[in-house]
Amino acid sequence: MRAILSDLRLWRWQRYTALAAFPLVLAHLVLQYFFFGVDASTFAEVSARVKGGVILGLDVLLLAAVSAHGFLGLRSMLQDYARSSPAAGWITRASLFALAATFAYGLAALAAFLPAGIR
Amino acid sequence: MNESKPTRITLEVSRSTAGAASRFDVPVPSATSRVLDALLYVRHHLDPTLGFRYSCRAGMCGSCAVVVNGKEALACQTAIGTLGTDHVRVSPLRALPVLRDLMCDMAPFFDTFKRSDAAMRAKEPDRKTLRTMPPGAPHRAAIEAQNGCLTCGACYSACEWSATRPGYLGPAAMNRIFMLSLDERDAPGRSRLATVAHESGALRCHGLGNCSAVCPVDIPLREGMQKLKGLLATEDLP
């Protein structure tokens, strides 16, 4: 566990998720503004889109990449102020917990758009 | 300041004994006179107790590194005329304990080289001299770009982390590790990267570039650090 959460590994993941987030955010914006249109955002319309699977997959990847990048970046900034290894360790744990919670909440929010039969 | 006319400056020097700065009225023969010349004038004519280091007077040894008007520089290489003011403040390097006036204890700085084991361990230790890298050798250009460190400590002083994070390795040691990790003659090679792959090493560097800005021999330390991070992102480390 310690090796999985090593500073180097988390630092690398912050970069990998930045690379992943870039095309995903771009795809999200293009789809939202040019393909679906900004006005097509009622519950029924979004639900119909998500039901297809591809959009749902993109949204899950976007959620994972952006929240991981954000919380790993926040961890890095908070650790600028950590003055001891235990403090740095707690910052890492808290950041990863917040990341997991955000991801779970995002999944639950996306699942709400799925028809009851699929959920 | 006129190049040809002698003029005078107010030299304000941080003092460790008095706990404050001392001000001296110092004649400057020409705009190309150096800050070290002004310090030597003070020592010879005004206050023989003023403490500062110097050796080569040619920008080669790095022993006269100080902070001049807020920026790290070699006193022997800083022309007073380039400062654009008649009030010159000289203080010791930051992030290092002051021994006396402008002299710092350089031990914490050199300790960063020891802690990161930033010394060549030749692959062929039985050779009398280190093998020369041919011009076309891989990474030679990258190593040359980062070469020439005087170990003056200016980058360590200018780095925001050296002063605020105990144990931070600092730009000079990590630059050396970067060069050694690329050097095909070095036995540890890329495995050296593990010595800087932690939160008191390259992962903590935010790339502000103060190190590059103050380096008296213009080593692109920030760029080197970015390349070092590139290696850390891709190399398989223990």
Q: Which pLDDT score is estimated for A118?
A: 63
Interface of A with B in 42-101 (CB under 8 A): 79-80, 88
In a domain, B33, yes or no: yes
In this structure, the answer to whether residues B226 and B121 fall within a common structural domain is: yes
Provide the domain limits for residue B80.
7-104
B2 assigned to some structural domain: no
For residues B91 and B67, the answer to whether their CB atoms sit within 8 Å is: yes
Q: Which of B104, B136, B162 is the last residue of a domain?
A: B104
Secondary structure of B33-57 in HEC code, one letter for each residue? CEHHHHHHHHHHHHCCCCCCCCCCC
Rounded alpha-carbon distances, angstroms, from residue B114 to A18, B63, B111, B118: 34, 19, 5, 6
* B28: nearest Cα among B10, B52, B43: B10
Higher local confidence (pLDDT), A38 or B103: B103
Residue B138 in domain: yes
- Determine the residue of chain A that is closest to B161 in CA distance: A80
Pair (B65, B122) in one structural domain: no
For chain A, percent of residues with pLDDT exceeding 90: 59
Residues of A in contact with B204 (CB under 8 A): 80
Are B51 and B163 within one domain? no
Residue A107 sits at the chain B interface (C-beta within 8 Å): no
Q: How many CA atoms lie within 13 A of B135 on its CB side?
A: 0
Residues B146, B82 share a domain:
no
Which of B223, B114, B128 shows the shortest CA–CA distance to B178?
B223
Q: What is the least distance, in Å, from the CA of A25 to any CA of chain B? A: 23
Are B154 and B217 in contact by the 8 Å Cβ rule? The answer is no
Contact: A8, B204; criterion CB under 8 Å:
no
B86, B104, B122 - which closes a domain: B104
pLDDT classification of A113: cutoffs 50, 70, 90: confident
ipTM of the prediction greater than 0.95, yes or no: no
Same domain, B228 and B112: yes
Alpha-carbon gap, residue B149 to B221, rounded angstroms: 10
Residue A26, domain member (yes or no): yes
Q: What is the mean pLDDT of each run of 10 residues along chain B (238 residues)?
A: 73 86 95 96 96 96 97 97 95 95 97 95 88 87 95 97 90 97 93 92 93 97 95 84
Q: Residue B232 and residue A80: Cβ atoms within 8 Å?
A: no
**How many angstroms separate the CA atoms of A27 and A25, rounded?**
5
CA–CA dist B222, B158 (Å, integer): 12
pLDDT for the residue A1: 47
* Total count of domains within chain B: 2
Structural domain count of chain A: 1
> How confident is the model at residue A80, as a pLDDT?
86
Count of residues for chain A?
119
Nearest CA in chain A to B205: A80
Please tell me which residue, A112 or B178, carries the higher pLDDT value.
Answer: B178
What pLDDT is attached to residue B69? 97
What CATH number corresponds to the domain at position A22? 1.20.1300
Q: Which two tokens stand for residue B36?
A: 């070290």
Q: State whether B203 and A11 contact (CB < 8 Å).
A: yes
Which residues does B117 contact at the CB level (< 8 Å), separation at least 6?
B188, B192, B195
pLDDT tens figures, A58-108: 999 999 999 999 999 999 999 888 888 899 899 999 999 999 999 999 999
pLDDT over 80 at A2, yes or no:
no
Select from B63, B78, B104 the last residue of a domain: B104
The verdict on B97 and B52 lying in the same domain is: yes
Q: What is the pLDDT of residues B26-62, one digit of tens each?
A: 999 999 999 999 999 999 999 999 999 999 999 999 9
Give yes or no: residues B82 and B172 share one domain. no
Report residue B216 CA to chain centroid gap: 7
φ/ψ region of B59 (left if φ > 0, alpha if ψ in -120 to 50, else beta) reads left
Instruction: Check which CATH number belongs to the domain holding B146 and give it.
Output: 1.10.1060.10
Judge whether B1 lies within some domain: no
Could you tell me if B157 and B56 lie in one domain?
A: no
- What burial letters (b/e) apply to B188-197, b meaning 16+ CB within 10 Å? bbeebbbbbb
Residues B119 and B93 in one domain: no
Between CA B41 and CA A28 the distance in angstroms is 68
pLDDT at A119: 60
Q: Which residues of B touch A3 (CB under 8 A)?
A: none
Residue A89: closest C-alpha in chain B: B199
Contacts of B233 in chain A (CB under 8 A): 12, 15
